């Protein structure tokens, strides 16, 4: 009989259920079968995390931010970049769809504790832009108005730049530009007067500053400057802009 040590009758020895056979027939894993280990629930089927599954842990919903908290956060981010006026912050908050009531509440509080101070802002702005960029009173007043500074507050800040300060700043700007200026004295004169006008200088201040600077440059420029009637040109410029 086959299977008991006799091979004389040609009977085939029964196939042994070796590794792989039981697995192919679905035999249980870990008991002699070599079948593939079933996929773990959760990794492929989205089972709950923490029980052998690889699914993502659900995100926890944090406490919802109130409108006042959101408004304060927006303001602080704006102020971290540079000082701002109350009007500037109000415009930003309005664009972010913060209600008018909350805007007033938050900005009133910031006024009380000194986080925003339009008067201090105006003084710092005038000092920085006048000394750093050479801007005259008229240009500075326009910039403060664009940033929502009250006219009275702006006027107090602009008192730091009087006529003498404007004349000195205009002359310093012209002297610096003359170092690299090219062209005829007339062409240089027109360019420098236009430059000062863009910075807010009155026509009379600009023309006198350029005339005096040209008079001290060289003989050709001095001869041209002698022929310049500063008062007449200033009157013409004022009439053209009025």
DSSP letter string over 18-78?
A: -TTHHHHTTPPBTTTB-PPPPPPTTTSS-PPBTTTB-PPPPPPPPPPPPHHHHHHHHHHHH
The burial of 178, by beta-carbon neighbours within 10 Å (0-12 exposed, 13-18 middle, 19 or more buried), is given as: middle
> Closest Cα to residue 221, out of 170, 194, 186?
186
pLDDT tens for the chain, 242 residues long, are 444 444 444 444 445 544 444 444 444 444 444 445 545 544 444 444 444 445 555 566 556 889 999 999 999 999 999 999 999 999 999 999 999 999 999 999 999 999 999 999 999 999 999 999 999 999 999 999 999 999 999 999 999 999 999 999 999 999 999 999 999 999 999 999 999 999 999 999 999 999 999 999 989 989 998 988 888 888 777 766 66
Q: What pLDDT was estimated at residue 6?
A: 42
pLDDT for the residue 32: 45
pLDDT value at residue 56 = 56
3-class DSSP state for residue 72? helix
Check residue 132 and give its pLDDT.
93
Which of helix, strand or coil describes residue 73? helix
pLDDT reported for residue 210: 96
pLDDT of residue 105: 97
Which pLDDT belongs to residue 3? 44
Tell which phi-psi region holds residue 26, choosing left (phi > 0), alpha (psi between -120 and 50) or beta.
left
194 Cβ contact partners less than 8 Å away, ≥ 6 residues apart: none
pLDDT for 239: 65
Please give the C-alpha separations between residue 200 and each of 15, 44, 63, 125, in angstroms, as whole numbers. Answer: 104, 72, 52, 15
Q: Whose structure tokens read 């919903």?
A: 61
């Amino acid at each position: 009989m086959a299977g008991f040590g006799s091979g004389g009758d040609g009977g085939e020895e029964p196939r042994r259920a070796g590794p792989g056979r039981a697995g192919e027939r679905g035999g249980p894993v870990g008991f002699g079968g070599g079948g593939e280990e079933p996929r773990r629930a959760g990794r492929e089927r989205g089972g709950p995390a923490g029980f052998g599954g690889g699914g993502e842990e659900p995100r926890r919903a944090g406490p919802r931010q109130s409108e006042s908290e959101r408004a304060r956060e927006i303001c602080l981010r704006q102020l971290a970049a540079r000082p701002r006026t109350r009007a500037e912050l109000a415009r930003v908050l309005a664009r972010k769809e913060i209600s008018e009531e909350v805007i007033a509440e938050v900005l009133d509080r910031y006024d009380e504790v000194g986080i925003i101070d339009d008067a201090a802002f105006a003084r710092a702005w005038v000092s920085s832009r006048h000394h750093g960029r050479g801007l005259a009173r008229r240009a500075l007043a326009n910039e403060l108005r664009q940033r929502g500074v009250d006219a009275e507050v702006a006027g107090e800040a602009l008192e730091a730049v009087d006529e003498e300060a404007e004349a000195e700043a205009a002359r310093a700007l012209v002297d610096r530009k003359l170092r690299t200026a090219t062209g005829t004295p007339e062409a240089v004169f027109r360019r420098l007067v236009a430059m000062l006008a863009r910075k807010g200088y009155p026509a009379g201040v600009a023309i006198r500053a350029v005339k005096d600077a040209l008079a001290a440059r060289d003989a050709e420029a001095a001869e041209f400057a002698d022929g310049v009637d500063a008062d007449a040109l200033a009157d013409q410029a004022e009439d053209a802009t009025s």
